[in-house]
Amino acid sequence: MKVHVIGTGLIGTSIALALTRVGDEVTLEDPSPTAAALAADLGAGSVARPEHPDVVVVAAPPDVTAKVVELALVTWPLAVVTDVASVKGAILADLVAYGEADLSRYVGSHPMAGKERSGAVAAQADLFEGRTWVVCPATQSAPSAVDLVARLAAATGAAVVQMPAGEHDAAVAAVSHVPQLAASLVAARLRELPDGAIALSGQGIRDVTRIAASDPLLWTQILSGNAAAIAPVIDDLADDLSRVAEALRALLADDDGTGARGVLARAIADGQLGQARIPGKHGSAPTAYAALTVIVPDEPGSLARLFNDMGDAGINLEDLRLEHGVGAKIGLAEVMVLPTVADRLRGVLEEKGWRVHD
C-alpha cells in the first residue's frame, strides 16, 4: 500500500514506522521541514509528496485537521483519506460545512493509544499493538474506503472497532478526556506543596498524574472540540466531589456525621466497580493479574537478568511497573503474571536469589 502521512509528530511518525515495518511504501509531509526530516531519519519513510497514494493519513493538530483532510481529498482525487484526531464529530461537521470535498473517500478514525509526549522523537513502531483503533464511518463513506482504513489500522497491530462519530465522542469524553482533566487538576494541587510534602510522593500519585505531563495546546483543542460531550461528565464528577466534601465536613460536626462514612465507602467501592471494567491487554475481558514486587539492583543488566529468569521458567510477563527506590540504589519491579503461575514464579525467583515481596 502507498501511504502518505501528513503531520509527522508522535502519532503520524508512529503510524509511519508501524506501516514501514510491514512493508508499506510510506511518504511523509509536515509544515515543519525539521519534523518531517526527523521522522525520515528515524526510519518512518521518505519526505515526498506522492502522485497517487492509496491512503492519506492526516495526523495534524485537531483544530486544523478538517482543512488538511479537505485539501488532501481535493489534491488526490483517487485516494482514501483518514485522520487520527481525538475528536470526530466536530471534524466531520466542519467537512460537511465546507462542502468542497468528496466525502465518500473520507473515513475518520482514532487510535486509542498515545503518550503524554509530543513529536517524532517520542514515536514508537509498536505504539498501537494490542490497542483499540476506532474507525468512524460517516453516512457518506464508501464501504471500500471504510475497509481500507480498517486494514491500515489493523496493519499497525491495533484491534479495530467501528462506531459512529457521536458515539465515539461520548465514549472518549468518559474514558480519555475527563481522565486527562482529572489528572491535570489533581497534579495542579501539587504546585505549591512544600518540598518536604512532595518528597512523600509514592506510586499512587504517579499512577494518577502521568498524563498531567501532556501538551496544553493539543489538549485545549481536544477539550474544546468535544465540549458538548465532556461538560455533562464533568457535572456528574463535580456532584460526586461535592457529596464527598459534604460527608467529610459532616464527620467534623457534633453529631459524628451519621451516614458520612457510607458516602465515603460508596465512593471508593464505586471506583472499584468502574476500574474492574477496564479491558485487559488486546481489548480482552478485564484480567486480574497477580503482582509480585522484585527488588532489582540499580545496575546495568539487572532487569534483563530478571526477564531472562522469568522466560527460562516459561512464565509470560503480562505487565510491568518500575519504581525507583528512594535513598537506595535499587528499583522496585512490579511484575504482573497470570494468577495461576504467581506461586511458581515466586519460588523460581527466590531460588535464583531475587528478593520478592507481595
Ligand X SMILES: O=C(O)C(=O)C[C@]1(C(=O)O)C=C[C@@H](O)C=C1
> Footprint of ligand X on this chain (CB under 6 A)?
86, 112-116, 176, 211
Q: What is the DSSP string of 9-35?
A: SHHHHHHHHHHHHTT-EEEEE-SSHHH
Q: Is 53 in the site for ligand NAD (CB under 6 A)?
A: no
Select 176 or 184, whichever has its Cβ closest to ligand X: 176
Binder to ligand NAD among 84, 160, 170, 173 (CB under 6 A)?
84
Select 145 or 211, whichever has its Cβ closest to ligand X: 211
Select 118 or 293, whichever has its Cβ closest to ligand NAD: 118
Q: Is 60 in the site for ligand NAD (CB under 6 A)?
A: yes
- CB neighbours (10 Å) of residue 31? 12
Select 166 or 297, whichever has its Cβ closest to ligand X: 166
Select 223 or 294, whichever has its Cβ closest to ligand NAD: 223
211: partner contacted, choices ligand NAD, ligand X, none (Cβ within 5-8 A by kind): ligand X
Q: What CA–CA distance (Å, rounded) separates 93 from 30?
A: 24
Q: What CA–CA distance (Å, rounded) separates 312 from 23?
A: 33
Question: CB of residue 146 vs ligand NAD: minimum separation in angstroms?
Answer: 19
Do 91 and 85 meet the contact criterion of CB atoms below 8 Å apart?
A: yes
Angle at which helices 227-252 and 165-172 cross, to 10°: 30
Binder to ligand NAD among 44, 56, 152, 222 (CB under 6 A)?
222
Q: Is 59 in the site for ligand NAD (CB under 6 A)?
A: yes
How many alpha carbons fall within 13 Å on the CB side of residue 304?
3
Rounded (5°) CA angle 303-214-284: 60
Do 16 and 67 meet the contact criterion of CB atoms below 8 Å apart?
A: no
SS3 101: coil
Select 6 or 101, whichever has its Cβ closest to ligand NAD: 6
Select 117 or 355, whichever has its Cβ closest to ligand NAD: 117
Question: CB of residue 11 vs ligand X: minimum separation in angstroms?
Answer: 8
Angle at which helices 227-252 and 216-225 cross, to 10°: 100
Question: CB of residue 251 vs ligand X: minimum separation in angstroms?
Answer: 35
84: partner contacted, choices ligand X, ligand NAD, none (Cβ within 5-8 A by kind): ligand NAD
176: partner contacted, choices ligand NAD, ligand X, none (Cβ within 5-8 A by kind): ligand X
Binder to ligand NAD among 50, 61, 164, 179 (CB under 6 A)?
61
Binder to ligand NAD among 3, 5, 10, 315 (CB under 6 A)?
10
Contacts (CB under 6 A) with ligand NAD, residues 103-132: 110-111, 114-115, 118-119
8: partner contacted, choices ligand X, ligand NAD, none (Cβ within 5-8 A by kind): ligand NAD
Give the H/E segment covering residue 75.
helix 62-75
Question: CB of residue 182 vs ligand X: minimum separation in angstroms?
Answer: 11
Do 302 and 354 meet the contact criterion of CB atoms below 8 Å apart?
A: no
Q: Is 313 in the site for ligand NAD (CB under 6 A)?
A: no
What are the cell numbers at 131?
490497542
The 8-class DSSP code of residue 177 comes to I
Which residues neighbour 91 within 8 Å (Cβ) at sequence distance 6 or greater?
A: 62, 65, 66, 69, 83, 85, 108, 225
Instruction: Please identify, among the stretches 40-48, 64-72, 183-191, 345-353, the one whose residues bind ligand NAD according to the rule CB under 6 A.
Output: 64-72
Q: What CA–CA distance (Å, rounded) separates 27 from 5?
A: 6
> Do strands 290-297 and 355-357 pair parallel, antiparallel, or not at all (unpaired)?
antiparallel
What are the cell numbers at 242?
461535592
Q: Is 31 in the site for ligand NAD (CB under 6 A)?
A: yes
Site residues (vs ligand NAD, CB under 6 A): 6-12, 30-32, 35, 59-62, 64-65, 68, 84-86, 110-111, 114-115, 118-119, 218, 222
